[in-house]
């Protein structure tokens, strides 16, 4: 598929919290770190170049977290993109600590989360975080305590909107009693639909759904499979078809594919131009079950 005229505007828009309009095709900044999402990337200047190209392609929703690196992803975003172009929304997360490569441990204590928000503000070089998301609910800390601290920061003007990650509908209901929830970030793609109920919940309440791991993997994506044959027919890649399906699946869907390659980045954004008929989408969905 041609990528020369690619722009994320083709993915349509969604208004986070009713007042933050973003193009629906976003960018996930987890991969601009070292192996195991640990330490700095091998090519720091290359990572910054990708971030700048993200904005050039019309992507104005970038998702990161204090745990990516840790700190590295936020620092690179702040260095590469600050001062931010008008309309660029940076979402970050807090609540997972790091003990080494590929090691993640939830900590939701109010004083810890408050400290992390202050540090994120500094690294991202912003005065207010557009969207702060609780990276995981800490089983040892009542979610009311974790989010209560974030509500205070929201009232102080340090956080604009609050979201959740890896939750089920009953947990969203519980959180919404404390503070308004405008987004949910769960693992989801055409081959992994364990959170179908959460997508439907978010659509019903106009909450943005941010699917991480948005591209189908495994058997479904293999050469010669259903996704592969339909992708070839539409002069697209399996990855592009996966992203296009997400955009088709729900108007509240905000895919955030991540990459460290400029070419791959353009390919991802071009997925917004992949158009299939309702019958073709149904055939793909049925084959993915």
Which residues have a catalytic role annotated?
Answer: 68
63 pairs with which residues across the strands? 28, 91
- Rounded distance, CA 48 to CA 63, Å? 15
Q: Would you call 155 exposed, middle or buried from its count of C-beta atoms within 10 A (0-12, 13-18, 19+)?
A: exposed
Upper half-sphere CA count for residue 15 (Cβ side, 13 Å): 3
Cα–Cα distance between 189 and 236 in angstroms, integer?
A: 17
Q: Is the peptide bond before 83 cis (omega within 30 degrees of 0)?
A: yes
What is the distance between the alpha carbons of residues 212 and 202, in angstroms, rounded to a whole number? Answer: 15
Q: By 3-state DSSP, what share of the chain in percent is helix, strand and coil, each rounded to 5?
A: 45, 20, 40
The residue whose two tokens read 């959460």 is 198
């Amino acid at each position: 598929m041609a990528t020369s005229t690619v722009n994320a505007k083709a993915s349509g828009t969604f208004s986070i919290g009713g007042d933050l309009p973003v193009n629906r095709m976003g960018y996930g900044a987890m991969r601009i770190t070292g192996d195991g999402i640990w330490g700095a990337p091998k090519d720091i200047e290359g990572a910054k170049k990708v971030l700048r190209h993200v904005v050039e392609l019309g992507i104005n929703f970038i998702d990161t977290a204090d745990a990516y690196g840790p700190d590295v992803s936020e620092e690179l975003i702040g260095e590469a993109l600050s001062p931010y172009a008008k309309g660029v929304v940076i979402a970050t997360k807090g609540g997972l600590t790091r003990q080494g490569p590929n090691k993640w441990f939830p900590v939701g204590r109010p004083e810890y989360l408050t400290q992390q928000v202050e540090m994120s503000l500094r690294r991202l070089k912003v005065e207010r975080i557009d969207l702060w998301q609780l990276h995981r609910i800490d089983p040892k800390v009542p979610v009311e305590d974790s989010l209560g601290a974030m509500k205070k920061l929201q009232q102080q003007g340090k956080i604009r909107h609050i979201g959740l990650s890896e939750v089920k509908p009953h947990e969203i209901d519980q959180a919404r009693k404390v503070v308004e929830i405008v987004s949910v970030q769960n693992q989801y793609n055409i081959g992994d639909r364990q959170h179908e109920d959460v997508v439907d919940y978010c659509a019903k309440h106009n909450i943005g759904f941010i699917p991480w791991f948005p591209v189908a993997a495994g058997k479904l994506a293999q050469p010669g499979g259903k996704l592969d044959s339909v992708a070839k027919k539409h002069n697209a890649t399996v990855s592009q078809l996966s992203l296009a399906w997400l955009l088709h699946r729900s108007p509240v869907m905000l895919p955030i594919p991540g990459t460290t390659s400029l070419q791959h980045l353009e390919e991802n954004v071009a997925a917004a131009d992949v158009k299939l008929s309702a019958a073709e989408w149904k055939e793909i969905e049925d084959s993915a079950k």
